[in-house]
Amino acid sequence: MKDNKLEQLKKEFKDVKIPVELDDTINKALKEGKKMIKKKKYIKRISTITASAAAITLILNILVNSNQAFAQTMYEIPIVGSIIKVLTFNEYKIDEDTYHADIETPAIEGLENKDLENSLNEKYYDENKELYENFMLEMKDLEENGGGHMGIDSGYVVKTDNENILSIGRYVVNTVGSSSTIFKYDTIDKKTEVLITLPSLFKDESYIEIISDNIKKQMIEQNKLDENKIYWVEGIDEPFAPFENISKDQNFYINPNGKLIISFDKYEVAPGYMGVVEFEILTEILLDSLFSNEYIK
């Protein structure tokens, strides 16, 4: 009985004639829909071009309105509809007979997290402003006491710039007397737009001993292969307190291959001629202590 009724309903449905007007309405709606899709794509494309043009205009305005030398944008990487850039914000430059200063200040542009962007840019600006002001005071003091030689170079390098990570290194080379070199790094998760710290990569502080032991092993192995590679570590050379452990927030960056790089400043763990030294840490020894494998591969 039910089957007969169902069959009757199906027959009645098939026999219903669709009015020509309705058919025309449907076709018109489909055409309008296609137009709207094309229009949305066009608007999206125009918005992207407009945003890029606005960013370029901003940079040009900075260049025109500043008395300092400015460099061109170094990196442009699109992520989730936005562009993160690292550019030279300003440059302090002195080039006299016995005095030399070249201080470049980086700036990050394009982060949606403006609190992070502003805090980093303010830090970079304040650091280099202080470098310049101290240099000018020391130069004045030298001049008042018969003159002398003094120089400083400060700039930045982008160590990693991919879809996931931006690692920026800032350096200061001071050539008063014997030269010294200091590096500082900031590594940003470009997707979540947060600053990655060394402790944030690990479950607990066991990473300190794991990384330190691996670095000491690398130091000894390098020395065996090349006796000119000297490190202040037990088993090689110990004129000062030998290297034991990295600090909790040791200088680091993540390279383009997803490897953790630990950095030491000049004179920190080796003689001056070794300069800034870096050690790539084997990912295999970090696996159990890593909080996740999001960054370190």
Interval 251-268: pLDDT, tens: 999 999 999 999 999 999
- Calculate the average pLDDT of the chain: 80
Final residue belonging to a domain, choices 196, 214, 247: 196
Same domain flag for 209 and 273: yes
Please report whether residue 137 resides in a domain.
Answer: yes
Please report whether residue 76 resides in a domain.
Answer: yes
Please report whether residue 60 resides in a domain.
Answer: no
Same domain flag for 191 and 203: no
Q: Provide CB contacts within 8 A for 25, sequence distance 6+.
A: none
Same domain flag for 180 and 71: yes
Q: How many structural domains does the chain have? A: 2
**Which DSSP string corresponds to 83-141?**
EEEEEEEEEEEEE-SSEEEEEEEEEEE--S-HHHHHHHHHHHHHHHHHHHHHHHHHHHH
Final residue belonging to a domain, choices 196, 227, 258: 196
Same domain flag for 268 and 239: yes
Q: What is the CATH number of the domain that holds 85?
A: 3.30.565.40
Same domain flag for 191 and 211: no
Q: How many helices (H) and strands (E) does the chain have?
A: 4, 10
pLDDT tens track of the chain, all 297 residues? 444 444 554 454 445 444 444 445 445 544 554 444 444 443 344 344 334 434 433 333 333 344 444 333 333 444 344 689 999 999 999 999 899 999 999 999 999 999 999 999 999 999 999 999 999 999 999 999 998 889 999 999 999 999 999 999 999 999 876 678 999 999 999 999 999 999 999 999 999 999 999 999 999 999 999 999 999 999 887 666 789 999 999 999 999 999 999 999 999 999 999 999 999 999 999 999 999 989 999
User: What's the pLDDT at 240?
Assistant: 67
**Other residues' Cβ atoms within 10 Å of the Cβ of residue 191:** 12
Final residue belonging to a domain, choices 154, 180, 196: 196
Same domain flag for 160 and 246: no
Same domain flag for 210 and 229: yes
State which residues form the domain around 109.
Answer: 66-196
Please report whether residue 78 resides in a domain.
Answer: yes
Q: What is the CATH number of the domain that holds 277?
A: 3.90.640.20
- Can you tell me which residue has the tokens 């931006």? 166
pTM of the model: 0.72
Which residue from 185, 171, 208, 156 is spatially nearest to 255, judged by alpha carbons? 185
Same domain flag for 242 and 186: no
Same domain flag for 108 and 165: yes
